[in-house]
Amino acid sequence: MSVITSSSSSDAAWQPPLSATGDARAVRGRPDWTDMVFFVLLAVGAGFALTRYSTAMDYYEKIILCGTVLLATWMGWLWRPLRRLMIACALAAGLAVLLYGNDLGRAEQVFFLKYLFSSQSAILWMSALFILATLCYWIGIFSPTAAWLGTALTWGAVFSGVTGMLVRWREGHLMGPDLGHIPVSNLYEVFVLFSLITALFYLYYERKYATRALGGFVLLVISSATIFLLWYAFTRDAAQIQPLVPALKSWWMKLHVPANFIGYGTFSLAAMVGFAYLVKQHGSTTSWVKLAPLFVLGVLLCVEPIVFRTEGVSATWIIYFGVGVLIVGGILMGRARIARALPSLEVLDDIMYRAIAIGFAFFTVATILGALWAADAWGAYWQWDPKETWALIVWLNYAAWLHMRLMKGLRGQLAAYWALVGLLVTGFAFLGVNMFLSGLHSYGEL
């Protein structure tokens, strides 16, 4: 078997770091009483929803709700901080629902709704906290005492974003029985979903591998998404809740879209870890010729949102591009200090592999679910719609990456560059197809 590698040692010999108590951070023992209490809380909540809102759900949606209880219980056992997040978000969203009553107009009258817990306020807080967290993570590279604040702000951003999405779901129902739907139906909502999923996976890996040095890299792509989100909301009034188009009025959306964006989020995370890998590898090089491909890829990622503009380039995106290029250049200029703060190449390679493997699994499920949904909505499993075609291209790209790793020993520099190129492909499938290639899936417009 041939081996494609530029790492200094084998991945097989590397093991995840141990926590202060000596236990591997990813390993869990048997469920204890706290897991049972959490399950009971989730079951009570689901029972209340089934009793109170039964008429608003069909048979399949009720099954999804019950399945979500089991899934959330398992995830809470696997990663305990997620339980605290879910409980905190449920309490905050429940408070918002109580404050609303049955009057959506109270969003402008009640202090906590206006400034904290209405969906738009919470999502604005999410965006601000993500950007602040990015700054703190980068400061933490040079002053480690500041890195913990990046973690705290990221958790705060996730709390705000999840709460905002839950409250937005309720706000839709308050606007009218035909408007209420899970908030994953348009470009504004899925950008929030993308940011949250990417951040949660990063926080999981941060804890598992006991390092905060990757936060600045991963939060860059999340901050880019939130900047786009803010621009889109304020220039297109995109934060308004809109009725669903007929094809989206289906319980399939509750399964297909989240699975799809787990793929997008983990692929993006893997790309930024690949970027960190290349910075680490070239930390001591003095040749800018070797750094040129990395700089060009970074510039292409910065310019991609501008390419997606169909009505000319505004000053906002010119500034965005300029700042992005400066950030990429600054990272490469400071690569020696950054490289020392990053974990080993083996750790970075392992995170990149795990993220792509998880993303590929969920993206595969999402593609299958999408085909079933298409058959239900349009009478055909596959129609070579532009979105379907590019989803297949994304799938084939990461299938090839995993095949080369598992069968040919793909490692190191080539794997990292491939992951970065994959983000360009994924970005076009996520956003570019909707802008340039009209089709059955074109639900977002710029």
Residues 319-336 pLDDT 10s: 888 888 899 999 999 999
Of the candidates 348, 369, 371, the residue with the CA atom closest to the CA atom of residue 280: 348
Kindly report the average pLDDT of the chain as a whole number: 87
Give the whole-angstrom CA distance, residue 217 versus residue 22: 28
Return the DSSP state at 312: -
Quote the pLDDT of residue 237: 85
Which of 130-134, 310-314, 428-432 comes out lowest in average pLDDT? Answer: 310-314
* Overall average pLDDT of the 18-42 stretch: 70
Token pair recorded at residue 14: 């590397």
Contacts of 258 (CB under 8 A, 6+ apart): 184, 193, 197
Token pair recorded at residue 251: 């319980």
- Per-residue exposure over 197-215, b if at least 16 CB sit within 10 Å of its own CB, e if not: bbbbbbbbbbbbbebbbbb
* Overall average pLDDT of the 2-21 stretch: 42
To the nearest whole percent, how much of the chain has pLDDT over 70? 88
Give the whole-angstrom CA distance, residue 139 versus residue 67: 42
Per-residue pLDDT tens over the stretch 369-413: 999 988 887 888 888 888 888 999 999 999 999 999 999 999 989
Entry pTM: 0.91
SS (H, E, C) 233-270: HHHHCCCCCCCCCHHHCCCCHHHHHHHHHHHHHHHHHH
157 neighbors 202 (Cβ within 8 angstroms): no
Q: How far is CA 238 from CA 19, 35, 71, 233, 294, in A?
A: 44, 39, 31, 5, 34
* Overall average pLDDT of the 417-442 stretch: 78
Contacts of 11 (CB under 8 A, 6+ apart): 346, 349, 350, 353, 411
Confidence of residue 339 (pLDDT cuts 50, 70, 90): very high
Which of 14-28, 34-48, 263-277, 357-371 comes out lowest in average pLDDT? Answer: 14-28
SS3 content of the chain, % helix, strand, coil (to 5): 75, 0, 25
Is 254's pLDDT higher than 50? yes
